[in-house]
A and B are shown apart, each in its own frame.
Chain A
């Protein structure tokens, strides 16, 4: 009933070509009757791809989503039946995250502004760093404080969980990094010193490259990034080359380290000897934030929505590798950089030094860029009070989310890539629906600026912290 059966009762048929998100054609062109809608197209794609389980897909013609039957869609858009319709299919997450809409707990504990919050990769533990120089662990089941870890001499600026969930490293304004054990709250060893100025970002080596996690890279205002080994508690390699502060660092899935700096350059380093591989030039002002298309998978490691636990590091490594390969597919890793020059660049660093696309449109500094977990979308938060959504593969602008009344500081995606969360200076958080391209939920409640937000990898909870010194947990 799919091919050739031109007028089978209902109006007519359309010539369609199914194309993947990367541009590869799936099968030959098909004659599809007008009463074919997304569910039937899903069946077709599943069959053509020989999927064992029926996976959900979303379909796009041009830039619009195809939600009606083909006939109605053609009529609405006045498309002629003479041109072959290119239907792009995009895999959707199998699970669906419910949007958070209430504040389930306000946990006080910090005595100064909360500067960083992060869920562990399995979503079971929560850690936060604050201006009162402590790192605190919180119990999610009772929503109360668990451990208070003292050791830093100055504000705790960034925290990062290792992708196997066994360690937490925190960096402070005095330039030192401390390793913590999340199970006991104890400090593991002496502080790691070496940086001369404050730490701006920390990133762990992906678990599919090494399990258990051993190395991480830290970026600092003094212009270099250092790779540390937690078993020897030493700085292994120092990546110097930037002439100004390094604002962000990301350890990529193929073993390259990307650093963005205030000297407007992005440098790509290889990790065995710390040699500079490439310099990506193009920005006119500070590079504020970097994002990798595989970032979410690297962060969560082997854990996914099924909540499976792993007994050995090898098992974890295999699972993480499988997830990473699936996420990446055949495409190279994409990198996006957001800058003070109000624009963002989409790079494919392994292929070329030239940017793939330049994304303009923001009217003020772009503070945070983040790829969606499935890599299809890219969101950017800017001080011009808007959050913009871009196509994660081509870099084309899709939608702008307006609603905040002050600078938008940080964003976070839900694990199924259908919802986006933004935290802003105006003390509210907002949840945006990607499919409808609209505001889904407004989450007011904080008394002052919201500095850090995070959505747990299992999608159940959202945590936010800010200048009012309390941590708020939001649930459905």
Chain B
């Protein structure tokens, strides 16, 4: 025939017996290197697509009645249309408060802090040839003393709070707004290491301080302006030279 000159002829029967050519080249069982990666990626994409089409076919076209799950917290019919938060709020709040007071745990960002030993907190004054002032202690952590602070007579003062470690402002972050304000400290509310440190005004990591938030413009539901809120110290101020705190909302 006319085609015979184009390529090497084999017998017609041999041509028919020849295996049909593969559409896709046969891949070795284990593909290595970049080629393998490409192949694996393509295969994965095909698999994902196949799964999606199968799922689509599985979904029946007939509409089925959606069975609502039985929810928890069953309430009678006369309470159904009422706001559940209004109902739950007061009771659970008081119960939670009581439980927390019992457990001594509060819902703060840092519930547990590393306890600070007294040796670390205070430095014994061993100056002078006679070393007679060893009953005095100098605070080595950041403190807050308040605007009307006057030292006790230096001769009788047991705890020395150096002015270099006194702070009046804190960098307070609002947890939801995620912005930081430089707010005045009003007082130190509670130091987790002990009531003595609270009374001295020492601020370590985890201390609850009260800050002046009038800058934020917060208003209570009753309409009064909030000007003091609690915040918790989140850094070690004696190392950083500043107080970073997060507001307790």
A219: nearest residue on chain B (CB-CB)? B77
Let me know if A155 and B70 touch, CB within 8 A: yes
Assess whether A113 is interfacial by the CB under 8 Å rule: yes
Let me know if B68 and A451 touch, CB within 8 A: no
Assess whether B74 is interfacial by the CB under 8 Å rule: yes
Let me know if B77 and A157 touch, CB within 8 A: yes
Shortest CB-to-CB span from B44 to chain A, Å, is: 41
Let me know if B70 and A451 touch, CB within 8 A: no
Q: Note all chain B residues with C-beta closer than 8 A to A379.
A: none
Q: Note all chain B residues with C-beta closer than 8 A to A437.
A: none
Let me know if B74 and A131 touch, CB within 8 A: yes
Q: Note all chain A residues with C-beta closer than 8 A to B68.
A: 153-154, 174
Assess whether B75 is interfacial by the CB under 8 Å rule: yes
- Given A198-B80, A245-B81, A262-B81, A153–B74 Cβ distance below 8 Å? no
Q: Note all chain A residues with C-beta closer than 8 A to B81.
A: 221, 245, 262, 286
Q: Note all chain A residues with C-beta closer than 8 A to B75.
A: 113, 115, 131, 451
Assess whether B7 is interfacial by the CB under 8 Å rule: no
Let me know if B78 and A198 touch, CB within 8 A: no
Q: Note all chain A residues with C-beta closer than 8 A to B70.
A: 131-133, 153-155
Assess whether A409 is interfacial by the CB under 8 Å rule: yes
What is the CA–CA distance of A131 and B69 in the complex, to the nearest angstrom? 12
What is the CA–CA distance of A286 and B76 in the complex, to the nearest angstrom? 17
A365: nearest residue on chain B (CB-CB)? B82
Let me know if B78 and A130 touch, CB within 8 A: no
What is the CA–CA distance of A174 and B68 in the complex, to the nearest angstrom? 8
Shortest CB-to-CB span from B200 to chain A, Å, is: 43
Q: Note all chain A residues with C-beta closer than 8 A to B67.
A: 153
What is the CA–CA distance of A71 and B72 in the complex, to the nearest angstrom? 63
Let me know if A452 and B78 touch, CB within 8 A: no
Assess whether A100 is interfacial by the CB under 8 Å rule: no
Partner of A130, one of B72, B74, B80: B74
Let me know if A367 and B78 touch, CB within 8 A: yes
What is the CA–CA distance of A262 and B81 in the complex, to the nearest angstrom? 10
1/0 per residue, CB under 8 A from A, across B82-109: the answer is 0000000001000000000000000000
What is the CA–CA distance of A369 and B1 in the complex, to the nearest angstrom? 107
Identify the interface centre among B74, B78, B91: most chain A CB within 10 Å of its CB: B74
Instruction: State how many residues of chain A have any CB contact under 8 Å with chain B.
Output: 32
Main secondary structure of the interface of B (DSSP, over half): loop
Partner of B74, one of A113, A174, A200: A113
What is the CA–CA distance of A113 and B68 in the complex, to the nearest angstrom? 19
Instruction: State how many residues of chain B have any CB contact under 8 Å with chain A.
Output: 13
Q: Note all chain B residues with C-beta closer than 8 A to A289.
A: 78
1/0 per residue, CB under 8 A from B, across A294-323: the answer is 000000000000000000000000000000
Assess whether A389 is interfacial by the CB under 8 Å rule: no
1/0 per residue, CB under 8 A from B, across A161-200: the answer is 0000000000001100000000000000000000000111
Assess whether A384 is interfacial by the CB under 8 Å rule: no
Q: Note all chain A residues with C-beta closer than 8 A to B77.
A: 115, 157-158, 198-201, 247
Assess whether A112 is interfacial by the CB under 8 Å rule: yes
What is the CA–CA distance of A158 and B74 in the complex, to the nearest angstrom? 12
Q: Note all chain B residues with C-beta closer than 8 A to A292.
A: none
A406: nearest residue on chain B (CB-CB)? B91
Let me know if A451 and B76 touch, CB within 8 A: yes
- Which residues from 239 to 266 on chain A have a C-beta closer than 8 Å to any C-beta of chain B? 245, 247, 262
What is the CA–CA distance of A155 and B71 in the complex, to the nearest angstrom? 8
Assess whether A424 is interfacial by the CB under 8 Å rule: no
Assess whether A414 is interfacial by the CB under 8 Å rule: no
Shortest CB-to-CB span from A286 to chain B, Å, is: 8
- Which residues from 125 to 143 on chain A have a C-beta closer than 8 Å to any C-beta of chain B? 130-133
A199: nearest residue on chain B (CB-CB)? B77
Shortest CB-to-CB span from B69 to chain A, Å, is: 9
Assess whether A288 is interfacial by the CB under 8 Å rule: yes
Let me know if B78 and A409 touch, CB within 8 A: yes
1/0 per residue, CB under 8 A from A, across B105-130: the answer is 00000000000000000000000000
1/0 per residue, CB under 8 A from A, across B56-79: the answer is 000000000001101011111110
Q: Note all chain A residues with C-beta closer than 8 A to B72.
A: 112
Assess whether A116 is interfacial by the CB under 8 Å rule: yes
A155: nearest residue on chain B (CB-CB)? B74
Assess whether A385 is interfacial by the CB under 8 Å rule: no
What is the CA–CA distance of A132 and B74 in the complex, to the nearest angstrom? 8
Assess whether A226 is interfacial by the CB under 8 Å rule: no
What is the CA–CA distance of A367 and B79 in the complex, to the nearest angstrom? 9
- Which residues from 417 to 476 on chain A have a C-beta closer than 8 Å to any C-beta of chain B? 451-452
Given contacts A200-B77, A200-B80, 10 further A-B contacts (CB under 8 A): A113-B74, A131-B70, A131-B73, A132-B70, A132-B74, A154-B68, A221-B80, A262-B81, A367-B78, A368-B78
Cross-chain pairs A/B with CB under 8 angstroms, 20 sampled: A112-B74, A115-B75, A115-B76, A115-B77, A116-B76, A131-B73, A132-B74, A133-B70, A154-B68, A154-B70, A157-B76, A158-B77, A173-B80, A201-B77, A221-B81, A247-B77, A286-B81, A367-B78, A409-B76, A409-B78
Instruction: Please name the 9 residue pairs, one residue from A and one from B, whose CB atoms are nearest each other, closest first.
Output: A131-B74, A157-B77, A113-B74, A115-B76, A155-B74, A200-B77, A451-B76, A112-B74, A154-B70
